[in-house]
Amino acid sequence: MRILSGIQPSGRLHIGNYLGMMEPAIRLQNEGEAFYFIADYHALTSTHDPAVLRENVRGLAIDFLACGLDPEKATFWRQSDVPEVTELTWILSCVTPMGLLERCVSFKDKIAQGVSPSHGLFAYPVLQAADILIFDSDIVPVGKDQKQHLEVTRDIAQKFNDRYGDELLRIPEPQIREETATVPGLDGRKMSKSYDNSIEIFEETEKKLRKKVMKIVTDSTPVEDAKDPEGSYLIQLYELFASKAEVEEMKASYRAGGTGYGHYKQQLFEKIWGAFEPMREKREALIADPDYVEDVLQNGAKRAQEKAREVLDRVRKATGLGR
């Protein structure tokens, strides 16, 4: 079983990225042939400063390794070190109907946010399809926001196979965990860098993290009154880190009244800080050893490139490209 997933180096990692993609990816590295990459070609759609892009790639590599990605088990590389994927993107573009891309919600969402769209932003589901299909991937662990893009990938693979030959491209399956499908942000919408509602996994100090958690939007029920646990983002976030019994205790305390939201936020803060505490030390060691991190990415790129060439050669032959 080949597992593939990618993540954009577009800023600091948040709890949504971690629970939606990184944590499942790290777990799955023990269950199959894992391929994980830093999607720097994708980040070009939004990051236009070369120094920032480089720094984000470096930071993401460090954070993923600190969280438990094991380069002995998983192949881990920088997307642009395997440029074969851009050739496959072009080939797939030629079987991709415009309508398929026009229907993509995440593109429409970016437009609604006022982003002036480039062709890259519009076409990025095709690059994503190439990322997945070039490794004959079976399973793609992602958050729910990527579900539609995975369907696009499957459609593109099917169209390619219909045109050039059955089973030329392997049709992948998304793997979306119910509990962490959409991690809510401070305001209850999907946690997302572009909504400015994120809680970062490696906030620099406890004070900064506490300040962030205190910003979670709650209603204005007075301290002494009973509170409704249903639909509380605070509880939804607490559920991701606390045991069942602890969640039940918080819910009961909500219903009983007499406790302010600040108290519950403090409990949540402690859980989040504690969850990432063991990774901080490893992260510091990785920050101090940039050569090791670069070696991991280079070695990963070599392995990834070998696999990518196999599929690309098959595709080139089938389409009539080359000799």
Encoded tokens for 319 = 């389409």
Report the C-alpha gap between 92 and 159 in whole angstroms.
9
* 7 binds ligand AQP per the rule CB under 6 A: yes
Which residue number, 237 or 312, has a Cβ lying nearer to ligand AQP?
A: 237
Which residue number, 20 or 71, has a Cβ lying nearer to ligand AQP?
A: 20
Contact residue for ligand AQP among 183, 234, 272, 311 (CB under 6 A): 183
* 45 binds ligand AQP per the rule CB under 6 A: no
Nearest to 214 by CA among 225, 203, 228: 203
Residues 25-44 that bind ligand AQP (CB under 6 A): 39
Contact of 132 with 173, CB cutoff 8 Å: no
> Which residues are annotated as catalytic?
110, 190, 193
Which residue number, 182 or 218, has a Cβ lying nearer to ligand AQP?
A: 182
The binding track of 187-216 with respect to ligand AQP, each residue x by CB under 6 A or -, is: ---xxxxx----------------------
Residue 286 CB neighbour total at 10 angstroms: 20
In the complex, what is the shortest distance from the CB of residue 132 to ligand AQP, in angstroms, rounded to a whole number?
12
Query: By CB under 6 A, which span of 5-13, 62-70, 256-264, 307-315 interacts with ligand AQP?
Result: 5-13
Report the C-alpha gap between 80 and 82 in whole angstroms.
5
Report H helices in the chain.
15-17, 23-28, 40-43, 50-67, 84-93, 98-102, 105-112, 119-133, 147-164, 206-214, 233-239, 244-256, 261-287, 290-319
* 61 binds ligand AQP per the rule CB under 6 A: no
In the complex, what is the shortest distance from the CB of residue 109 to ligand AQP, in angstroms, rounded to a whole number?
8
Nearest to 303 by CA among 27, 55, 72: 72
In the complex, what is the shortest distance from the CB of residue 111 to ligand AQP, in angstroms, rounded to a whole number?
13
Q: Which residues bind ligand AQP (CB under 6 A)?
A: 7-8, 10, 16-17, 20-21, 39, 142-143, 145-146, 180, 182-183, 190-194
